[in-house]
Amino acid sequence: MNELNVVVDAAKSAFAAAVTPADLENAKSLFLGKSGRITELMKGMAALSVDEKKSRGASINIAKQAIENALTDRRRALADLDLQKQLQAEALDVTLPGRQRGQGGLHPVSITMERIESIFGSMGFEVAQGPEIESDWFNFTALNTPEDHPARSMHDTFYVEGGSATAPNLLRTHTSPMQIRHAVQHVKHYRSLASDAQANQELFSGDMPEIRVIAPGRTYRVDSDATHSPMFHQCEGLWVGENVSFKDLKFIFTDFCRTFFESDDLVLRFRPSFFPFTEPSAEVDIQFQSGSLAGRWLEVAGSGQVHPNVIRNMGLDPEKYIGFAFGMGPDRLTMVRYGVNDLRLFFDGDIRFLSQFQ
């Protein structure tokens, strides 16, 4: 191997050893720079004859060309490597699962509430909403439960600021205050229609349509275990007219339960009970005749004939008007319908549980 080939090989291996563009430029100056090996070889030709210069110069030029080619190749290789690295760093891993936009859905108890509203709606019941912060009057006193009544102790609740010492505000313990609120509005409305008609000498019989209403919503009691939570749901029902009876209550409630549970294979019983605002009072129990719950009596509502004092507080004459009321527990209905055994699951907010109802 001649001397020039040795220089070319030395340059090639120096270039190959360079891992950054700066390394490469340093290596380049060792061979092609001002005092680089090739430049030195050129300078060394000064003493040669003209003919010798020609052939020596040509050989050195070939070596120089070879070194420049090697340099260009290495530059390109380093640039490619750099690009490769950058692409790798910015790589998009398309095998990662995408972030899905979660699809929301109704809470099982909300599904039940909507179901109750639509079933009773189809039976001619209005739907009324009332306040959760209630006054003592609507929650207790107007419902025939005076201040010293022992039944109040079963409805221990949370008292909140805003009321007066004699009429404190509280979180309603049941939806029954809506019986009074709605009936009073209803009575007022038809009385004013009647008096307007009279004033304008228009024809209006003055007859008040029956009160048929349900009032679903949140209720509160100081109570907390696997089957009771301090906040729970109720749905009140009220039917007041001149000619209503327990058989109507039994008929609509049976019809409701059969529609709600999508089963005609279900019977209903009234079990004597006590509520200050109804007399007589009864718990409503249902029993499935087939399926996994067959044979067990399940309590689903309290009910009764509206007490004459309550009818009076509605602004109606108890000699003329008679009413039936019920209060059911949508949480319980939801548990029975879906076979849920722990009430607390409804309030944990666990997506694994909730998504099963969508």
Report the alpha-carbon distance of residue 315 to residue 184 in Å, rounded.
Answer: 6
Identify the three-state secondary structure at position 339: coil
> Which residues, in sequence order, are CB contacts of 240 under 8 Å at separation 6+?
183, 210, 211, 306, 311, 314, 316, 321, 322, 323, 324
Q: What is the closest distance, in whole angstroms, from the C-beta atom of residue 188 to ligand PHE in the complex?
A: 22
Nearest to 121 by CA among 215, 249, 251, 219: 215
List the interface residues with ligand PHE, window 320-349 (CB under 6 A): 325-327
145 binds ligand PHE (CB under 6 A): no
What are the distances in angstroms from CA 242 to CA 124, 130, 319, 324? 17, 25, 9, 11
Quick check: 235 and 216 in contact, CB under 8 A? yes
Q: What is the closest distance, in whole angstroms, from the C-beta atom of residue 283 to ligand PHE in the complex?
A: 9
303 binds ligand PHE (CB under 6 A): yes
In this structure, what DSSP letter does residue 46 have? G
> Which residues, in sequence order, are CB contacts of 273 under 8 Å at separation 6+?
281, 282, 283, 302, 304
Closest CB to ligand PHE among residues 70, 219 = 219
Q: What is the closest distance, in whole angstroms, from the C-beta atom of residue 234 to ligand PHE in the complex?
A: 6
Q: What is the closest distance, in whole angstroms, from the C-beta atom of residue 96 to ligand PHE in the complex?
A: 52
Residue nearest to ligand PHE (CB): 327
Q: What is the closest distance, in whole angstroms, from the C-beta atom of residue 335 to ligand PHE in the complex?
A: 17
> Residue from 145, 157, 176, 313 that binds ligand PHE (CB under 6 A)?
176
Identify the three-state secondary structure at position 155: helix
Quick check: 176 and 236 in contact, CB under 8 A? yes
Q: What is the closest distance, in whole angstroms, from the C-beta atom of residue 174 to ligand PHE in the complex?
A: 3
Quick check: 330 and 212 in contact, CB under 8 A? no
Report the alpha-carbon distance of residue 350 to residue 326 in Å, rounded.
Answer: 32
Report the alpha-carbon distance of residue 228 to residue 331 in Å, rounded.
Answer: 10
Q: Which stretch binds ligand PHE (CB under 6 A): 33-41, 67-75, 241-249, 319-327?
A: 319-327
Q: Which stretch binds ligand PHE (CB under 6 A): 54-62, 253-261, 291-299, 300-308?
A: 300-308
Q: Is 3 exposed, middle or buried (0-12, 13-18, 19+ CB in 10 A)?
A: exposed
Report the alpha-carbon distance of residue 144 to residue 63 in Å, rounded.
Answer: 115
216 binds ligand PHE (CB under 6 A): no
Q: Which stretch binds ligand PHE (CB under 6 A): 106-114, 125-133, 301-309, 338-346?
A: 301-309
Letters for 248-287 (x = contact with ligand PHE by CB under 6 A, - = none) are ---------------------------x--x--x------
139 binds ligand PHE (CB under 6 A): no
Report the alpha-carbon distance of residue 338 to residue 103 in Å, rounded.
Answer: 21
Closest CB to ligand PHE among residues 12, 174 = 174
Number of residues that bind ligand PHE (CB under 6 A): 11
Q: What is the closest distance, in whole angstroms, from the C-beta atom of residue 299 to ligand PHE in the complex?
A: 11
> Residue from 12, 64, 174, 332 that binds ligand PHE (CB under 6 A)?
174
Closest CB to ligand PHE among residues 79, 222 = 222
> Given CA atoms 166, 274, 317, 127 in this order, what sign does their dihedral have?
positive
Closest CB to ligand PHE among residues 112, 303 = 303
Q: Which stretch binds ligand PHE (CB under 6 A): 11-19, 23-31, 200-208, 298-306?
A: 298-306
Q: What is the closest distance, in whole angstroms, from the C-beta atom of residue 138 to ligand PHE in the complex?
A: 12
Interface residue list for ligand PHE (CB under 6 A): 174, 176, 275, 278, 281, 302-304, 325-327
